[in-house]
Amino acid sequence: MIEYDYKKPESLEEVFSLLKEYGTRAALIAGGTDVMVKIRNTKRAPEVLISLRGLKDLKYIKKNGNYRIGALTTHRMLERSPLVRTELSALHDGASRIGSVQIRNVATIGGNICNAAPSADTAGPLLVLDAQVVLEGPEGRRSVPLSEFFTGTYKTGRKQDEVLVEFEIPGKMEHFGSAYWKHSRRKAMNLPLLGIAVSLKLDGDTVSDARIALTVAAPTPIRAYTAEEFLKGKPLTDEVLKEAGKISASPECCSVRDSLRGLAWHRKEIIEVYVGRMAKLAAEKIKNR
């Protein structure tokens, strides 16, 4: 029989003290859409669930030079935020395609990243937006680039006594356009077969800066650095984009494999096609601003 205790602290200090008391016998839970499902499917639970939902001041989307998003911001909030839709479009794309409205109403961006599935729909967008992860622990706050935060499949650099409290996106991303494509068999209620996020800065028709992130293409969400380097300084033409797609799909950038949900050769084809399509969409976002 599944048994656990449930605590709902009202401050970060309380969270730290509970984490200290229970150590690895406890797990953090936010929206619950990953944690509760895992408990049901594995029929196992930690001794204590420590809920973060009492930390109401971790729910915000702010712009003050940099963009700051509280870890407990729900996907639905991101979906409905005009700021996110217009200036952080890839994140809007990713958050609004997660599961269903019911899931998005409770699931959080912090939970999505801490769960660290290779398919996390906010991971690709945050990566191409140069996001930093802000962690807080009893010793204080620290900031880690998201690109260094994923240490393995379902593993992050969060220490056992830390809480992910915020995502910080540099203000300069305001000048980038971004887009995210979630490739799935149906338009809702699916994990992606593949995720492709692109952000671009243009100088006329030339790419002055680029970021490409892939999910479900490696054990963790990744950046396709080689493809990004290729794009920089090039004009945004079909040939260039096709090449960027090919590089992204190559072993230099990713390690797609066969799985229950899809085959490696097909995933490569999708990357090749959609890097270009998302780049074009990202470029349009800049123009439409």
Partner 1 sequence: MKNVSVSFTLNGDPVTAEVPVTWSLLKTLRDHFELTGAKKGCGVGECGACTVIVDGDAVNSCLYPIYEIEGKSVTTIEGVAEKDGTLHPIQTAFLENNGVQCGYCTSGMILSAKALLDKNPDATENEIRTSIAGNFCRCTGYVQIVEAIEMAGKRMK
Partner 2 sequence: MSDHLFVGKSVPRTIEADKVTGKAVYIDDFKRPGMLHGKILYSNYAHARIKSIDTSKAKKLPGVRAVLTGQDIPDVRVGFLKDQTVLKKDVVRQFRDEVAAVAAVTPEIAAEAVDLIKVEYEELPAVFDPFEAMKEDAPLVHEVDARGRPVKSNILPLPWKFEAGDIEEGRKKSAYMTTDNVSTTWVNQCCMGTSGCVAEFDNSNNLTLYNQTNVIFGHVGRISEYFSQIGLRGKKVRVVNAIVGGSFGTKLDTDIYEFISIQLALKTRKPVKILFEREEEFRALPPRQPAIFTIEQGCDKEGRLTFRKCEAILDNGAYTSWGATTPSVMIMPMSSLYRVPNVSYKATCVYTNNIYCQAMRGYGNPQATFAVETSMDSLAEKAGIDPAEFRLINRNRPGDETPMRLKITSCGLEECIHSVKEKLKWDEKRGKRKGRGVGMASLIHVAGGARVTKSDGHGMMVKVDEYGHVDVIESGTDQGQGSPTVITQIVAEALGVRPEDVFLTFGDTALALWDAGTHASRHTFMAGNAAVRACAKAKKQILEMAVEYIPKLVKGGFKRKKRKDPDFVEPELDYGLVSDPENLDIRDRMVLPKSDPDHPYFKIPVSQILRSGLHVGVGESKVVVAEAFYDPPTEMLDRELKGNLSQTYAFGTTGVEVEVDEETGEVKILNLVAAHDVGKAMNPTLLLGQIYGAAYTGVGYGLTEEIKVQNGRVMNPGFRDYQMLTAMDVVPIEPVVVEPLDEDGPYGAKGVGEPGLVPTAPAIANAIYDAVGVRIRDLPITPEKILAALKKKGKRN
- Give me the 17-56 binding string for partner 2, x by CB under 8 A, dash otherwise: --------------------------x-------------
Q: How far is the CB of 32 from partner 1 (least distance, A)?
A: 5
Compute the distance between CA of residue 288 and CA of residue 26 in angstroms, rounded to an integer. Answer: 47
Q: How many amino acids of this chain bind partner 1 (CB under 8 A)? A: 29
Compute the distance between CA of residue 285 and CA of residue 178 in angstroms, rounded to an integer. Answer: 7
Compute the distance between CA of residue 66 and CA of residue 43 in angstroms, rounded to an integer. Answer: 42
From 28-36, 59-67, 209-217, 251-259, give the range in contact with partner 1 by CB under 8 A: 28-36
Q: How far is the CB of 26 from partner 1 (least distance, A)?
A: 14
- Give me the 151-190 binding string for partner 1, x by CB under 8 A, dash otherwise: ------------------------------------xxx-
Work out whether 287 is an interface residue with partner 2 (CB under 8 A): no
Q: Could you tell me if 109 and 73 are in contact, meaning their C-beta atoms sit under 8 angstroms apart?
A: yes
Can you tell me whether residue 172 is helix, strand or coil?
Answer: helix
Residues in CB range of 50: below 8 A, 6 or more apart: 7, 9, 15, 18, 19, 22, 26, 27, 28, 29
Q: How far is the CB of 51 from partner 1 (least distance, A)?
A: 7
Q: Could you tell me if 221 and 196 are in contact, meaning their C-beta atoms sit under 8 angstroms apart?
A: no
- Give me the 114-153 binding string for partner 2, x by CB under 8 A, dash otherwise: ----------------------------------------
Beta bridge partners of 70: 166
| Shorter beta-carbon distance to partner 1: residue 79 or 136 | 79
| Shorter beta-carbon distance to partner 1: residue 6 or 64 | 6
| Shorter beta-carbon distance to partner 1: residue 99 or 157 | 99
Looking at residues 243 to 272 of the shown chain, list those that interact with partner 2 (rule: CB under 8 A): 260-263, 266, 269-270
Residues in CB range of 166: below 8 A, 6 or more apart: 58, 68, 69, 70, 71, 133, 134
Looking at residues 159 to 198 of the shown chain, list those that interact with partner 2 (rule: CB under 8 A): 185-191
* b/e map 91-128, b = 16+ CB within 10 Å: bbbbbbbbbeeebbeebbbbbbbbbbbbbbbbbbbbbb
From 86-94, 102-110, 212-220, 256-264, give the range in contact with partner 1 by CB under 8 A: 102-110
Q: Could you tell me if 127 and 199 are in contact, meaning their C-beta atoms sit under 8 angstroms apart?
A: no
Residues near partner 2 (CB under 8 A) are 1, 43, 185-191, 260-263, 266, 269-270, 273-274
